[in-house]
Amino acid sequence: MVTKKLLDELTYAIIGCAIEVHKNLGPGLLESVYQKCFNHELYVKKFNFISQVFTPINYKGVILDADLRLDVLIENVLIVELKAIEGMLPIHEAQLLTYMKLLKKPKGILINFNCTNIFKEGQKTFVNEFYASLPA
């Protein structure tokens, strides 16, 4: 059963994976490099995940293809969007929140590897109404 506590523990572990990648590679590389290394960390730590997940839009019962693709879905409950950019913008947050809503997932993490410290400045966590309805 998915709980807020389980999601919070999962979030902590996933941010740890990002920190490990950043510790080994540092900032300044392409997002695709970080994606491969982040996926490897998830694999080594035996997380259940899928990458580059196509995200359809269900509009009034009709499935519409909008060519949306999220970076990583972990344990079927946590969405992770990876970036390697100068600074995160509201559009990046909107992107993650869109995936969370369309797939009905309770939590997401936006991670930017182009920073000096992932924990302090390189990640932002989001929850939504699905998270609010989970047991503690």
Residue 17 has pLDDT above 90, yes or no: yes
Q: What was the pLDDT predicted at 66? A: 87
Query: Which pLDDT tens digit goes with each residue over 37-72?
Result: 999 999 999 999 999 999 999 999 999 988 899 999
Determine contact, residues 83/110, Cβ cutoff 8 Å: yes
**String of b and e for 32-58 (b: at least 16 CB within 10 Å)?**
eebbebbbebbeeeebebebeeebeee
pTM: 0.95
Question: What was the pLDDT predicted at 122?
Answer: 95
Q: Which pLDDT belongs to residue 65? A: 85
Question: What token pair was written down for 40?
Answer: 């490897």
Confidence at residue 80, expressed as pLDDT on a 0 to 100 scale: 98
* pLDDT, tens digit (0-9, with 9 covering 90-100), for 89-107: 999 999 999 999 999 999 9
Distance CA 5, CA 3 (A): 5
